[in-house]
């Protein structure tokens, strides 16, 4: 930072101290809020509802991109804050990660203008997508993606990631995080499945709640300089479009919307999330950003949400340009704000939004009371964050930034998530004296290990920022010595803009080297992506990768298939010829190390699939499907063969040791009223290694007035057992856990029999 900038910032801080001392004192936040609202002009209120991206206020060729290194365009910044009263800024410059010092400098200058030069002295609230660590801060602790955390079935990892991310986000000077993602990952075609916690609503709500507590504090203490305001997304039904492609229409009956999609959001709203981002898509023909029913009636009134409702990227504009329900931008603004939107992620043409909304209020098309409600919510979040008292947090106050403890937490999350799906003849773990060929496009890529939203939107800059971490290849070399490791890519990724495709990269050489190795470690999957660039037309793994797998398998040497992917790509053609299959998901910067420890026996795998792994691209049925989806051809009868035939089932995952379930028992055979039933089961480690086991409790409604799911996950816990050790696990269920949603949207628990399942054990209880 140059000398002139230092002097300006010192003047700002001195002025801020004087302002703080002279500011009128209020007994409550509400008093201060109402006083501010009373003093604000309509234009100042509308500005608080505007959110722009950082490039808009950066020097560059246009407001759509800025120069590197980043420099603030003070003229544009003053225009945004002083003329249009913009209340929020988000994102990073040109999708580049910045150092904490640079973040501190940028946000300090923004707050200087807002709090020293503006009439109302209202601080800006800065937001960022720090979804698996502070993904836009160079040097931050990068964790596994959410889908990987889900595979741990251990909520402590969700809590720890959020806690550390909150700390390091604040070290960057940023107080607002667009996380967690609570979308139902029920369609593996969807390009953002990796951002969520998988296909099960209960798993999502448990992990999501822990992330809220980690980000905001158990006592909802976001005024702490170590906590951030959360923004859960994307409300509601975003992740199951009919086409499987991002931001395309979904068709979801109300009972399904409520039973599978709504519950996780209800859980985190009760836990205290400060903001909610709205679904970018269309449900049953209605654009979510224009849905009064969705935003106001369900979110704000039914769920009692008191925080800020924010759009996703350009989604008010999309009501006009994409969805064609508004004839121009002005009508789009009217529809969205009247539906209940509080803040618009514009993100570029802020003048138009502000001018249109002011005009709409003056014309009586939008009530000023709706504006007041939105601004009250926004200012309340800013006050809770303590932005008047502490507008910029500084890296020098965060000595634990990227600490060894944080790194250990990120590694352990990856190690507990990696899932062993196949292990013929117990080929794994491998001996450390074995000679291996490492091949495949994912073998030597930090980009592939991390996935999208890592240092940049599409994750394509990960190899630049993450050079100090180990790829899969490098981790294996460190583990067993480079002399025992031969590496030939065979297939590599080639960039085509934001997209990528496979290419031959010494394919024949890889096949020849396989014959000379003791074991082949074949690393296949996907390169990084998210959102529209991640859309695909075929869920099957690419032709080049499948061909590489087939050819190296012909060598006669055992092949360990390592999958590194954001969603399950179909491997039916090659799976039978693989000796072992290991799913790493997107394990982050320490995923290579964790995988090597598992492959060579220093860590016993304990991950479980958080989704159903399909066999075919058109067989995309979740584990909680209907009985009709399990019909088989029967001798002497014409019965349709149906669609549930997964490669691997939800909750599946092997260990290097063996666990035995016994003595399932219940405290009562009958459940009624508010009295819960207790369930007990004994788990023993009958193998020779210490191991962790995820104990899952399912229920099945045997008969119901509408066709029930074959089973539903109701509880889970993860335990660790030494060889020969036995533990008793206790669960508790109540009547609400046995309920379903009727076609008219009502929750009901019907009298009848319910089967309880854990492991291979079953018991029947009655509800009356």
Active site residues: 312
Residues 6+ away with beta carbon under 8 Å from 653: 151, 419, 420, 421, 605, 606, 607, 608, 609, 694
- For residue 419, what are its two tokens? 């899932």
The CA distance from 194 to 191, in Å, is 8
Residues 6+ apart with CB under 8 A from 61: none
Q: What b-and-e string marks burial along 142-153, b requiring 16 or more CB atoms within 10 Å of the CB?
A: bbbbbbbbbbbb
* Residue written as token pair 């618009």: 344
Residue whose C-alpha is closest to residue 444's, from 424, 423, 462, 418: 462
Asked if residues 530 and 452 have their Cβ atoms less than 8 Å apart, the reply is yes
Location of structure tokens 């090659």: 574
What's phi and psi for 767, nearest 5 deg? -110, 130
The overall longest dimension of the chain from CA atoms, in Å, is: 89
Q: What are the CB-based long-range contacts (under 8 Å, 24+) for 641-648?
A: 643/619, 644/619, 645/615, 645/616, 645/619, 646/612, 646/613, 646/614, 646/615, 646/619, 646/621, 647/568, 647/570, 647/571, 647/572, 647/575, 647/613, 647/614, 647/615, 648/421, 648/609, 648/612, 648/613
Which residue, 710, 735, 730, is CA-closest to 719?
A: 730
How far is the CA of 539 from the CAs of 269, 614, 626, in angstroms?
Answer: 34, 9, 23
Helix (H) / strand (E) containing 205: helix 201-216
- Catalogue the E-assigned strands of 305-462: 308-310, 344-345, 419-423, 436-439
């Amino acid at each position: 930072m140059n000398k002139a900038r230092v002097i300006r910032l010192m003047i700002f801080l001195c002025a801020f101290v004087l302002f703080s001392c002279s500011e009128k004192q209020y007994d409550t936040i509400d008093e201060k809020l109402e006083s501010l609202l009373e003093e604000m002009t309509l234009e100042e209120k509308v500005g608080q509802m505007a959110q722009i991206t950082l490039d808009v206020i950066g020097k560059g060729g246009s407001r759509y991109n800025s120069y590197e290194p980043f420099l603030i365009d003070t003229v544009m910044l003053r225009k945004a804050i002083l003329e249009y009263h913009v209340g929020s800024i988000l994102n990073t410059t040109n999708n580049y990660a910045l150092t904490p010092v640079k973040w501190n400098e940028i946000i300090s200058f923004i707050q200087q203008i807002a709090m020293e030069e503006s009439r109302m002295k209202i601080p800006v609230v800065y937001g960022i997508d720090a979804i698996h660590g502070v993904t836009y801060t160079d040097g931050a602790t990068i964790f596994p993606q959410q889908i990987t955390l889900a595979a741990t079935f251990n909520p402590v990892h969700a809590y720890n990631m959020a806690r550390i991310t909150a700390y390091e986000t604040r070290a960057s000077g940023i107080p607002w995080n667009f996380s967690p993602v609570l979308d139902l990952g029920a369609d593996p075609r969807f390009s953002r499945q990796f951002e969520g916690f998988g296909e099960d609503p209960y798993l999502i709500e448990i992990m999501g709640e822990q992330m809220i507590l980690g980000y905001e504090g158990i006592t909802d203490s976001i005024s702490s300089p170590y906590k951030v305001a959360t923004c859960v997304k994307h409300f509601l039904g975003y992740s199951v479009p009919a086409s499987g492609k991002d931001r395309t229409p979904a068709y979801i009956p109300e009972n399904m919307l409520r039973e599978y999609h709504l519950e996780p959001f209800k859980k985190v709203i009760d836990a205290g999330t400060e903001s909610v981002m709205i679904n970018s898509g269309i449900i049953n023909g209605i654009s979510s950003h224009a849905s009064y029913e969705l935003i106001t009636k369900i979110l704000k009134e039914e769920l009692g949400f008191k925080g800020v409702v924010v759009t996703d990227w350009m989604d008010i504009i999309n009501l006009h340009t994409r969805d064609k329900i508004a004839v121009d931008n002005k009508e789009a603004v009217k529809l969205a704000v009247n539906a209940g939107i509080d803040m618009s992620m514009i993100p570029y043409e802020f003048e138009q939004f502000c001018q249109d909304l002011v005009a709409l209020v003056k014309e009586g098309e939008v009530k000023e009371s709706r504006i007041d409600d939105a601004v009250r919510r926004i200012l309340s979040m800013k006050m809770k964050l303590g932005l008047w008292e502490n507008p910029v947090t500084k890296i020098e106050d965060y000595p634990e930034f990227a600490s060894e403890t944080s790194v250990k937490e990120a590694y352990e999350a990856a190690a507990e998530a990696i899932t062993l799906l196949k292990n013929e003849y117990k080929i794994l773990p491998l001996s450390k004296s074995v000679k291996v060929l490492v091949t495949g496009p994912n073998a030597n890529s930090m980009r592939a290990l991390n996935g999208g939203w890592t240092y940049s939107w599409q994750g394509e800059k990960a190899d630049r920022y993450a050079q100090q971490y180990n790829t899969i290849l490098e981790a294996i070399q460190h583990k067993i010595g480079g002399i025992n490791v031969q590496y030939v890519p065979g297939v590599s990724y080639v960039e085509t803009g934001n997209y990528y495709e496979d290419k031959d990269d010494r394919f024949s050489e890889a096949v020849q080297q396989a014959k000379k190795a003791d074991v082949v470690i074949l690393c296949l999957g996907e390169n990084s992506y998210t959102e529209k660039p991640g859309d695909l037309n075929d869920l099957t793994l690419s032709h080049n990768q499948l061909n590489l797998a087939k050819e190296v398998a012909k060598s006669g040497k055992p092949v360990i298939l390592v999958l590194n992917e954001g969603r399950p790509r179909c491997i039916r053609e090659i799976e039978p010829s693989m000796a072992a299959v290991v799913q790493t998901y997107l394990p982050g910067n320490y995923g290579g190390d964790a995988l090597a420890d598992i492959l060579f026996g220093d860590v016993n795998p304990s991950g479980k699939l958080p989704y159903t792994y399909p066999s075919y691209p058109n067989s995309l049925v979740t584990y909680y499907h209907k009985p009709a989806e399990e019909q088989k051809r029967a001798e002497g009868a014409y019965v349709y063969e149906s669609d549930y035939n997964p490669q691997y089932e939800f909750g599946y995952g092997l260990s290097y040791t063996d666990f035995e379930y016994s003595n399932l028992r219940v405290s009562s055979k009958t459940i009624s009223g508010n009295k819960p039933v207790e369930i007990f089961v004994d788990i023993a480690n009958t193998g020779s290694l210490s191991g962790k086991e995820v104990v899952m409790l399912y229920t099945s409604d045997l008969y119901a007035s509408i066709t029930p799911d074959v089973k539903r996950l109701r509880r889970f816990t993860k335990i660790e057992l030494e060889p020969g050790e036995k533990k008793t696990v206790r669960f508790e269920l109540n009547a609400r856990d046995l309920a379903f949603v009727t076609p008219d949207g009502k929750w009901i628990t019907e009298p009848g029999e319910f089967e309880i399942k854990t492991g291979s054990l079953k018991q029947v209880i009655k509800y009356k």
